[in-house]
Amino acid sequence: MTREPASPLGDLRLSPLLTATLPRWEQITAELRRPGPHIADVLRLADATGRPAVQPRCGVGGHPEMLRLLGELAATGADVLTVTVDAHTRLQQYATARRLMRDSPGDLNGYPLVAHGWRRGRELRAHVPHPLQVRHGSPDARDLFAVSLASGITSFEGGGIGYNLPYSKDVPLRTTLGSWQRIDAVCGALAGDGVLIDRELFGTLSAVLMPPSISLAITLLEAAAAAREGVRCVSPAYPQSGEMHQDIAALRAIRVLGRRYLGADVEVFPVLHEFMGPFPRTPQYANFLIIYGGLTARLGRASKVVSKTAQEGFGIPDAAANAEGILNTILGTSDLLDFIRVDEDRIAEEESWILQEVGELVEPLFATGDLLGGIVEAFQTGRLDIPFSASVHAHSDVLPARDRGGAVRYAHLGALPFSGTTRSRHARQLSARTGATHRATGLIEQITRDINYFLDKERTVLPATDERPQP
C-alpha cells in the first residue's frame, strides 16, 4: 500500500476545523500549476518592457459581488487584481466573518476568504484572466495562507514585522516572525518543486512620513528571513513619499539591496504604493497625484504599482473610482510622459545615502547567528524602530520630518545605530527648514503639516475648490 506523502501544510499548525476541509497537497499543487498568467510572469514582463504592472486594491464581502467587482476591474487594463480580506478574517474571527457573510455581507470591509472557502477562491481565480494577490494585514495569516494556496493564488502579501507592528497593539514580535517563518517554509517547499509564490513585503508600515531606509530595512530583513526558508520570489514594497527624487532613489535601491544581501537565486521585484497619507479632496488634484505616482513608479523602475483612487479622501472607493484610478495610473506609467527628465545626479546621491543607511541598520543583524532573534532584540533596544507604530513592541522614538524640498528625513533618530556622517546629513537637510518655522510652530505642528503634505499643496493650487464634495 502506497503511503500518501506528508503535506508541508502540516507544519503550519492550522486550525483543526480548517485542516479537515482542505484538499490534498497534490491537488493544491496541481491547482497552483494550472495554466494561465502567474504573478511572476507578469512581474518579469513588466521589468522587460519598463512599464510597471498596475494593481488596484479591491475586496467586498459577498461572493457574487466580488466576482462582479473583479470582472469590472479586469476590463480596465489592470495587470494584477486583488482579494483584499476583511478585518474579522485578519484577526481570525472566522465565526463573525461567516455570520456577516451570510446575513449582511455589505457590512464586511473585504472578502472573507477563509469563510467563503477555497472552492469559491478558485471561482475568483477562474473568473478573470489576471493573477490574483491576497492582501490582508493579519499578524497570523497561516489559515488564510492555506486557503489562498488551495484557491490557486500565487501571490501573498505580508511579513512578521510589517503585518504586526503597524497594525497590532500587543502581539509579540517573536510570535509573528515564527508564524511567517512557517508560511515562508511552505513557499520554499513549493519553490523547490518548481512553483513560485510571490511574497510581497509591506514596506508601507504605518503609512505616513516613512523614512526610506526604515521601509527598505524592514522589507529586506523580511525578505532575507523568507529566502532562508527557500523563498525565491520577493516583492519589497515602498510607499510614495511625494518627493520624486527620493522615491525614485528608494525604488532603484531595492534591486541593489536584493543583489547585495539576498543572492542571485532570489528574484526581486520592487513595488510602489501610491501615496498612502491624507489624500486630496478634489477629484482633479487627486487624479493628478495618482498620475504622479504612476510616473514615479516608471522612473524608479518598479515592477508594480498599487493604485489609488480619487475617493481615498472620503472612504472605501467604488468600482467606478477604482477603474478611473487604474486608468490614471496607467497614464502615469505610459510612454506619453517620456519627455519628463529628472536630475539623475541628485537621484544617484540620494540612492547612495539610502543604501548606506539601510546597511547601517541591517548589517549588525546579518552578522548574528540568529536573524529572527536579532530582529526581536533590535526592536526591544530601539536599534530598529517604526515611527507612529500602534504596537507596544516598537519604541516609536523615531520622528520623521520633511526637508525644504519635501523629502522625508529624520528629525529624531531615537536609538537607530546610524553613523555620525548619517546623523549629520539629516541634521543639515532639516536645518534650512526647521530654523524659524520649527521655533514658531513646534515639532508636532510641523509633523502634522508634513503628514498633510498634499492637502496643503491642494489648497495652494486650488484654493476655491478644496472642499467641494466628491461627485
Catalytic positions are 90, 157
The DSSP result for 210-249, as a single string, is: --HHHHHHHHHHHHHHHHHTT--EEEEEEE--S-HHHHHH
> Are the beta carbons of 250 and 354 closer than 8 angstroms?
yes
The terminus-to-terminus CA distance of the chain in angstroms comes to 67
CA separation for the pair 455, 280 (Å, rounded)? 5
Q: How far is CA 272 from CA 132, 307, 333, 466, in A?
A: 17, 9, 12, 26
Q: Look at the chain and count its residues.
A: 471
What per-residue string of b and e applies to 432-450 under the rule 16 or more CB within 10 Å gives b? ebbeeebeeeeeeebbeeb
List, in sequence order, the alpha helices (H) in 334-417.
344-366, 371-381
Q: How many CB atoms lie within 10 A of CB 183?
A: 28
Q: What are phi and psi of 273, to 5 degrees?
A: -90, 120
Query: CA–CA distance from 149 to each of 40, 74, 234, 393 (Å)?
Result: 15, 22, 17, 31
Cell 478558485 belongs to which residue?
Answer: 122
Is residue 329 within 8 A of residue 291, CB to CB? The reply is: yes
CA distance linking residue 260 with residue 119, whole number of Å:
41
